[in-house]
Amino acid sequence: MSSLELRQIEKRYGGYRALRGINLRVEPGEFIVMVGPSGCGKSTLLKSIAGLVQVDSGEMLINGRDVTKAEPGDRGIAMVFQSYALYPHMTVAENMGFGLRMAKRPRTEIDAAVGRAAQILRLTDQLDKLPKQLSGGQRQRVAIGRAITRSPEVFLFDEPLSNLDAALRTQMRVELSTLHAALGATMVYVTHDQVEAMTMASRIVVLNAGSVEQVGAPRDLYSNPVNRFVAGFLGAPRMNFFEAKIVEARLGQVSVETAGLGRFAMPVVANTPLAIGDTATIGIRPEALKLVGNRDGAHFSGAAQLVEYLGRETIVYADAAPLRCIGSDTGTGNVTIHLPGIAQLETGASLQIAFDPANAYLFGGAEQRTLSAPKTI
């Protein structure tokens, strides 16, 4: 169990700043998941920690030891790659013992370490096979086994499950969480899959354009994102965003007005920079929207454009003009509604939709910070 500390890590590729002053402290035994959109620098950051990428400035400490300039092999890390990166000409046992063999450890020690890792990962019967004789899930377990045998201070995972099919991914997710609990090791895990982030992480690090946006426990991040980016990134289907105008501002409360939503009051943090006439963004999670029976209880109405039945949940995309979603992936302006169970809805059905303003978010200012009052979890 070891700590990992990053101080002001900077990395440039030519004129492009891939990492912009990253600060992070990972406590011993933590499972840190780094998420972010493609090109946000999460893989670069992981490779920097591994020493495969040399950072331009900043400091990196593993267990208090400065490893900023250390060779990858001397850092006490082990990395698991998205593509497994198994040596195709070596058996499973040789693959798992590679690091120890390179370090010229005695044969008995290597065999013992490989045997132990194989037992943990249920690979004991596969030790003499070549990687090409294994299934995808087994290959990934071998790659993890290769990391375990070196008993590193920090495990690094670079999207290890993204090449597996959905069912196997769910299974491996559970196995990795179990492994983390069993080894109690410090792990840093990069993924773009937010289910993995939400389920496995002790803490999630949200990265965007080379900077850390927010660090926190999954539930905190989901309920209290610091800004619109984090709010939009975590949660699937994505949060609905609407453009709004501030029509009334008092201490701890503002009233907002949106075309199609009308006017309503929201609790906000004490020191908002908002003034009457400013534009801001309202955010409502799809599951915070409810269908109501009659027009009186509704905040807005719309027509179902597309209904996705997923069995235990139903996702409805509704055209609620003049209310239009901004920044949606599809660009249609449709509002996304997430309903539990199977909702009997036909395409084109007219919907009456309501929500509790206390569940809505307000983002404003230049950085689109969260201004609505924190939600209690």
Partner 1 sequence: MYPRPIPPTARTERRLYLVLVIAILVVWLAPLFAIILTSFRSSADVANGNLWGWPTQFNLIDNYTGVFSRTPMAQYFLNSLLITVPSVIGVLVLSTLSGFVLAKYRFRGNMALFAVFVGGNFMPAQIMMIPVRDLMVRLGLYDTTFALIIFHVAFQTGFATLFMRNFVAALPDELFEAARAEGASPAQILRHVVFPLVRPAFAALAILTFTFIWNDYFWAVVLTISDTVKPVTAGLANLRGQYVSEWNIISAATMIVAVPPVVMFFLMQRHFIAGLTMGAVKG
Q: What is the smallest separation between the CB atom of 109 and partner 1, expressed in angstroms?
A: 15
CA 196 – CA 173 distance, rounded (Å): 7
Structure tokens at 140: 């990934």
Rank residues 21 and 72 by Cβ distance to partner 1 and give the closer one. Answer: 72
Q: What is the smallest separation between the CB atom of 190 and partner 1, expressed in angstroms?
A: 14
Establish if 29 lies at the interface with partner 1 (CB under 8 A). Answer: no
Matching residue, tokens 């609505």:
372
Q: What is the smallest separation between the CB atom of 135 and partner 1, expressed in angstroms?
A: 8
Reported as half-sphere exposure (CB side, CA atoms, 13 A), residue 63 has a value of: 11
Q: Which stretch binds partner 1 (CB under 8 A): 46-54, 253-261, 294-302, 335-343?
A: 46-54
Q: What is the smallest separation between the CB atom of 51 and partner 1, expressed in angstroms?
A: 8
Residue among 8, 5, 4, 26 nearest 17 (CA): 8
- Per-residue b/e over 96-114, b at no fewer than 16 CB within 10 Å? bbbbbeeeeeeeeebeebb
Establish if 26 lies at the interface with partner 1 (CB under 8 A). Answer: no
Look up residue 141 and give its amino acid.
Answer: R
Rank residues 52 and 292 by Cβ distance to partner 1 and give the closer one. Answer: 52
For 122-187, where are the alpha helices, taking DSSP H only? 136-149, 166-183
Q: Which stretch binds partner 1 (CB under 8 A): 126-134, 174-182, 196-204, 229-237?
A: 126-134
Write the interaction track for partner 1 spanning residues 65-84; mark x where CB under 8 A is met and - where it is not: ------xxxx--xxx-xxxx
Establish if 89 lies at the interface with partner 1 (CB under 8 A). Answer: yes
367: phi then psi, degrees, rounded to nearest 5:
-95, 10
Structure tokens at 331: 């660009």
Q: Which are the contacts of 69, defined by CB distance < 8 A and separation ≥ 6?
A: none
Work out the angle at residue 32's Cα, subtended by the Cα atoms of residues 27 and 37, and round it to the nearest 5 degrees: 145
Establish if 168 lies at the interface with partner 1 (CB under 8 A). Answer: no
Establish if 145 lies at the interface with partner 1 (CB under 8 A). Answer: no
Establish if 86 lies at the interface with partner 1 (CB under 8 A). Answer: yes
Options 28, 29, 115, 136; binder of partner 1; rule CB under 8 A? 136
Rank residues 85 and 373 by Cβ distance to partner 1 and give the closer one. Answer: 85
Structure tokens at 216: 């926190």
Q: Which stretch binds partner 1 (CB under 8 A): 43-51, 106-114, 235-243, 305-313?
A: 43-51
Rank residues 157 and 317 by Cβ distance to partner 1 and give the closer one. Answer: 157
**Residue 36: burial class (beta carbons within 10 Å; 0-12, 13-18, 19+):** buried
Residues in contact with partner 1 by the rule CB under 8 A: 47, 50-52, 71-74, 77-79, 81-89, 98-99, 102-103, 130-134, 136, 139, 146, 150, 163
